[in-house]
Structure 1
Amino acid sequence: MKRRFILFLCLISMFSLLKAQQTEKLYLSGTGNDKTVNWDFFVTGGMNANKWTNIPVPSNWELQGFGKYNYGFDKDTLRGKEQGLYKYKFVVPAGWKNKKINIVFEGSMTDTEVKINGKLAGAVHQGSFYVFKYDISKLLKSGENLLEVKVSKHSDNKSVNEAERKADFWIFGGIFRPVYLEALPKVHIERVQIDAKADGLFEVNVLTTTGADKVAIQLYDKDGAAYGERIEAG
């Protein structure tokens, strides 16, 4: 039982390592409130509205002197429902040619529209506390690219507002978590699902991109030695 559990943990580590080795990241924002990157910014209402300036990303715009402060229990007529417009220019590494490239947002309050070089990256994302991403491979060009983001402080989705905008806390807007590009091989593992049983056995489901002929799995023990036979599925 103990050995099976160790192997189970090693399998998780193996897939984590595989993902880390094959995925490259390029941060467009900073990585936290103590390490930010300035983007061009325009807010449509409240403090310092209706003029282009800049703002550190990630952050909430109210804490940077923009928009309107509101509490979750304020009447709807008092609520600031401003939008924030962001612009940022970036260059994709030359080594990322022929790879799948996603733009990843770890958190944005709340409805978020993303454009790359003037074209929509996908449907508007709704909800502040969820990681979301778009495949922007076909929207990129060599040299400089333009990222434009429109963030609405209040959602067009009533259920999102009920869950996130009406509560016992201050209401904030903005890109408040990091934004980055991730590059992956055209054929790669999208997701690994492990269904562990109480007896130490487990089932592994691997979701790959289109074009993968087969997936090979090798178990390793805690010392890094191969255990059992290599398994191939296709």
Structure 2
Amino acid sequence: MGVYCSEGMNSKKWTKIGVPSCWELQGFGNYNYGFDYKTDKKTHDEHGLYKHEFSVPKEWKSKDVKIVFEGVMTDTEVKINGKPAGEIHQGSFYEFKYDISKLLKYGEQNLLEIKVNKVSSNTSINFAERNADFWIFGGIYRPVYLKVSPQKNI
């Protein structure tokens, strides 16, 4: 993974960052502490854009290919080659995945695009995940990988 874009003066400029990592640790966004999201929501209203080019072997065309995210804070929209991989994922603390088998170009370059919102559009998620005594970070903070399986598997 590795390219990130934010709003502001350099909004058209892409910067390489490490993944997994929170964008605050890479010099982007604002540091926010748990309870302050209620009084200082403006600094929480951040989103980051990621993109990554990758290729997959032609031999994978007969397989199930899933992209797995072990942890992203908070709402996550994923596109493969400009097409949505699935519904926007909401929540920060559990793994989620999409079957991207039909979206891939096998033996060619593919484009992964990810938009991450630090604050969820679901108020119950914000209440559950933000109303606490810990730092609130944004970004892809756990590994992302492709899981390849036979089409018939358990």
For normalisation by structure 2, the TM-score amounts to 0.91
- Tell me whether 1:91 sits opposite 2:55 in the alignment: yes
Deviation per CA, 1:131-170: give whole Å up to 9, x if none. 0000001100131000000000000011110111221111
- Equivalent positions of 1:1-234 (< 5 A) are 29=1, 39-44=2-7, 50=11, 51-74=13-36, 75-142=39-106, 143-189=108-154
Segments of structure 1 that go 5 or more residues without pairing to the other structure are 1-28, 30-38, 190-234
CA drift of 1:49 comes to: 5.5
CA RMSD across the alignment: 1.5
Distance 2:91 2:119 in 1: 10
CA contact (8 A) 1:49 1:67 kept: no
Distance 1:146 1:184 in 2: 21
Distance 2:42 2:84 in 1: 32
Larger Rg: 1
Distance 1:49 1:68 in 2: 16
For normalisation by structure 1, the TM-score amounts to 0.61
Segments of structure 2 that go 5 or more residues without pairing to the other structure are none
CA contact (8 A) 1:43 1:83 kept: yes
CA contact (8 A) 2:69 2:96 kept: yes
CA drift of 1:94 comes to: 2.9
CA contact (8 A) 2:34 2:132 kept: yes
CA drift of 1:100 comes to: 0.7
CA contact (8 A) 1:116 1:148 kept: yes
Distance 2:41 2:136 in 1: 14
Instruction: Report what 1:196 is aligned to.
Output: none
Distance 1:77 1:141 in 2: 40
**SS across alignment from 2:24:** helix
CA contact (8 A) 2:20 2:142 kept: yes
